[in-house]
Amino acid sequence: MSSNLRSGTGTTPETPSGSDEADLAKSTNEGHGGGRLGSVFWTSLGISAVFVAWAVLFTDNLNKVTNTSLNWVTATFGWSYLLVTFAILVFLVFLAFSPAGDMRLGKDGDRPEFSTPTWFAMILSAVMGIGLVSYGVAEPISHLATPPHGLAEPNTPAAAVRALQYSYFDWGLQAWAIFAVFGLAIAYSTHRKGRRTLVSQLFVPLLGDRVNGPIGKAIDVLAVFATLFGTTTSLGLGALQVNNGLFRLFGVPVNSVSQVLIIAAVTSVFTLSAVTGVSKGIKFLSQGSTLLAIGLFVFMLIVGPAVFIANLYIESLGMWATDFFRMSLQGTAFGGLEWMQWWTYFMMAWWVSWGAFVGVFLARISRGRTIRGFIMGVLVVPSVVFFTWFTVFGGTAIHVDMFEKGDIAKQTAADINSAFFATLDHFPLAGVTSVIATILVVIFFVSGADANTYVLSMMTSDGSLTPRRTVLILWGVLTGVTAVVLMLAGGLNALQNTVIVTSLPFLVIIAGLAVSFWKELGTDRKEKKDVTV
């Protein structure tokens, strides 16, 4: 997927010949020579270095500050994650069915570069990865044992339905609404307006030339930090998953030493890939990972309780649809803050932190599509795929624990990263499927981090599509180092705490860019109407 982001890929017959990268660079009025390293780069680098030093030298203080900040942020502003993401979803649905939905992400004569099936496959590759293995079983089985908001008794049929209902919510429409609004705004700004690929440029309709001053620089720095900590969280989760897979396969101990070595090894690989542009290898691995994921999915559907899964899917989907508005605005006025911190608030913060990266990717592959087609495609198809994956793997784990006297929930409570492998252990060819799952995590690990390194480098190089090698190396190493220090500081808790705290300012940015995008659409439609008349 990272190669797709940089060059538009040559993975399909319909990909045009020639340099897509050059075309996009020209369309965004982009400079050559790797971009200018200005205040955004040096400020981001300096603050990142201070954070790493803080984590290394004053670990206990870091944990104390992030825990205190987490409790304050979620208790005081947790509702804003719910309200902003829901408002963005409503805005996108309204936009899709408004007359503005016919406008194209590009010039009026532009048409999609990729066929719709290829486009869907590329969308799924953007975020699919580590999260599906990390949480495909872990979230539903955890909710079975501890039902959300006390809505059911543990380990009951009602708890099973609630478990999948809330998994759908955490990985469904709101998540993809964040990515969609970013992708729309960036695609419109770059393909139709010819601006640089920077988050600050999305605010031109609201701020005018001030986006090139301190306010714009601050927006870009916030985008860098949101992306950095979203990446480090994924790296940490990936390391924990790989460590569990290696433990089950080869007895590699599950500890901080193993996890640091895994992060170091993967950081070396994705940094080398980002620097050398070894896109063919990564592209091949990414395509292979999709086939492996499909194969694992079909295998589980065959050997698992297919009829039970189908029934559970329908019932859970019905409950999700019935309760959707309540879930979208269910806060913590009467308790439940800790549960929300561990699940919904963390998930939404994670999506927010990935917004800029996924938005750039979606913009890159969506030139020529209508706003309506983009919104419907990005919101609906990935949500259905995620719902189905969680139902097959999470539903299978629920069946094992409820009807086969399994202990997957117990193992998950002891180590949440063991959930997926604990489920595979209950079925034939557990060794083979565990190898496949581990390979999947490693591939998603490498390709996702590679692309994130590129986006971080691009955002700190004045929007350059060809960042300098030294900048790529720097951000690759810094991403790995940040993941390591957070893992050593407090493992998964430290990763989750940091991503929630650092994402809050960026949540305001997302709300602002939605307003800015709507204002620009209105102005452009009015001008077009005046010209037509």
| pLDDT at position 116 | 87
Nearest-Å Rg of the Cα atoms of the chain is 22
CATH number, position 280: 1.20.1740
Give the range of the structural domain holding residue 240, as residue numbers without chain letter: 46-532
Q: How many domains does the chain have?
A: 1
d(CA 106, CA 119): 16
What is the crossing angle of helices 59-96 and 469-532, to 10°? 30
| pLDDT at position 7 | 45
b/e map 320-342, b = 16+ CB within 10 Å: beebbeebbebebeeeeeebbbb
Question: 11 lies in a domain?
Answer: no
What the block records as the tokens of 176 is: 């993809």
Nearest to 78 by CA among 338, 353, 357, 355: 338
| pLDDT at position 278 | 52
* DSSP 8-class letter at 95: H
Question: 149 lies in a domain?
Answer: yes
Report yes or no on whether pTM surpasses 0.85.
Answer: yes
Question: 487 lies in a domain?
Answer: yes
Q: What is the pLDDT along the chain (533 residues), one digit of tens a residue?
A: 444 455 443 333 333 333 333 333 333 333 444 566 889 999 999 999 998 899 888 888 888 898 899 899 999 999 999 999 999 999 999 999 999 999 999 888 889 988 888 888 778 766 666 788 889 999 999 999 999 999 999 999 999 999 999 999 999 999 999 999 999 999 999 999 999 989 999 999 999 999 999 999 999 999 998 889 888 888 888 888 999 999 989 899 999 899 999 999 988 888 887 777 655 555 666 677 778 889 999 999 999 999 999 999 999 999 999 999 999 999 898 888 999 999 999 999 989 988 888 888 888 889 999 999 999 999 999 999 999 999 999 999 999 999 999 999 999 999 998 999 999 999 999 999 999 999 888 888 787 788 788 889 999 998 887 888 899 999 999 999 998 988 888 776 787 888 888 899 999 999 999 999 999 998 888 877 666 55
Question: 226 lies in a domain?
Answer: yes
Nearest to 178 by CA among 416, 476, 378: 378
Question: 6 lies in a domain?
Answer: no
| pLDDT at position 371 | 95
What the block records as the tokens of 189 is: 């700004």
Question: 24 lies in a domain?
Answer: no
| pLDDT at position 23 | 38
Question: 524 lies in a domain?
Answer: yes
d(CA 89, CA 96): 11
Nearest to 287 by CA among 450, 112, 122, 117: 122
| pLDDT at position 502 | 86
Question: 35 lies in a domain?
Answer: no
